[in-house]
């Protein structure tokens, strides 16, 4: 995969949005559309099911030189040779961790991304040594319906204060993308606006065009 600093479009294979589609087919469409990273997100699936999904997707991302991110499941990320594992605040800090080195991932060439929802969380996450952090949810999102939107103010804060690669996430779509970019974001995560599009690859291409 390309260096994280050069990654702009972070897409998802989210089981909540599969709508009967095969995950590997969806992953191929995302790769064809220009995604730099693809996260496998299967919130209500047991680890063995997540691993089967990851094993289906990994050959697709590897051929396309696209980074594979496994959400939540560190053991699965290790097992399938994913480049990254993404952890939420509760999965990392609430589990008692303070630095990613405690996870013992580096020998496996597996990097960690962390979610953040406020400047104090970002500062704590940055001190933990991740490869990247996520900033959001910028707007209300059906992906995380109980999460309060952090608004563009947090994006502006990140643009002024965070030097590590960071991705704006949450409710980002083509109509509001210009506002997100104007607030200082250069990398974005997109879930439903791509996965619910009639043509997934074309939706990716349109986000890519605007980001470039």
Chain-centroid distance of CA 5 in Å reads 14
Q: What is the pTM of this model?
A: 0.95
Q: What is the pLDDT of residues 127-147, one digit of tens each?
A: 999 999 999 999 987 767 777
Under CATH, domain 4-211 is a member of which superfamily? Aldolase class I (3.20.20.70)
Name every residue whose Cβ is closer than 8 Å to that of residue 25 and which is 6 or more positions away in sequence: none
Question: Considering all CA atoms of the chain, what is the largest pairwise distance in Å, rounded to the nearest integer?
Answer: 42
Among candidates 1, 42, 84, which has minimal Cα distance to 191? 42
What's the rounded mean pLDDT across residues 197-210?
97
**Chain segment 14-31, per-residue pLDDT in tens:** 999 999 999 999 999 999
pLDDT tens by residue, 95-132: 899 999 888 755 567 999 999 999 999 999 999 999 99
């Amino acid at each position: 995969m390309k260096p994280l600093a050069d990654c702009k479009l972070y897409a998802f294979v989210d089981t909540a949005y599969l709508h009967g589609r095969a995950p590997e087919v969806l992953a191929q469409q995302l790769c064809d559309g220009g995604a730099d990273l693809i996260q496998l997100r299967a919130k209500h699936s047991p680890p063995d099911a997540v691993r089967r999904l990851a094993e289906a997707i990994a050959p697709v991302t590897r051929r396309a030189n696209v980074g594979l991110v496994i959400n939540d499941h560190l053991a699965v990320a290790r097992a399938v040779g994913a480049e990254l594992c993404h952890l939420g605040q509760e999965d990392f800090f609430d589990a008692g961790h303070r630095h990613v080195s405690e996870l013992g991932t580096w020998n496996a060439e597996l990097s960690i991304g962390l979610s953040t929802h406020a400047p104090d969380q970002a500062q704590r996450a940055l001190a933990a040594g991740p490869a990247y952090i996520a900033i959001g949810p910028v707007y209300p999102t059906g992906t995380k319906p109980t999460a309060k939107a952090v608004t563009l103010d947090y994006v502006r804060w990140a643009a002024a204060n965070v030097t590590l690669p960071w991705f704006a996430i949450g409710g980002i779509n083509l109509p509001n993308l210009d506002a997100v970019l104007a607030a200082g974001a250069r990398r974005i995560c997109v879930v439903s606006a791509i996965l619910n599009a009639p043509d997934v690859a074309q939706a990716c291409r349109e986000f890519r065009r605007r980001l470039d």
